[in-house]
Structure 1
Amino acid sequence: SDLNQQLYNMCCCNIPNSDLILVYLSKIDQLELGALKIIISNDIQLYKDLYGYKE
């Protein structure tokens, strides 16, 4: 959309394409990031429990 293009131009016009993912990651909502960390931690713990790994 035009709005998306405007936001892109404001945020990204001077940033190489290879760095766009870093810009995106830096803008991820902190609550989402926290939830993702919890999910990953739970998955790791489940894996450890299933396969008998100890801390």
Structure 2
Amino acid sequence: MDKKKATVIFRVDTEYKIYLEKLAAHYEVTVSEFVRDFLVDALEDCELPFYYNKGDE
């Protein structure tokens, strides 16, 4: 699979922001790195094929 960079922006409540900051600090990474790694792992472990419409890029 070609690896291309993308920017993902999402909003969370303050309590979730604090929780993500604590998790990231525990693993000594930034929140962005933690979320990125979590999402990549989740997609790689997914049993269903991941399809997208190239016209939506």
| Higher gyration radius (CA) | 1
Do both share a fold (TM > 0.5)? Answer: no
Instruction: Give the helix-richer structure, 1 or 2.
Output: 1
TM-score normalised to structure 1 length: 0.34
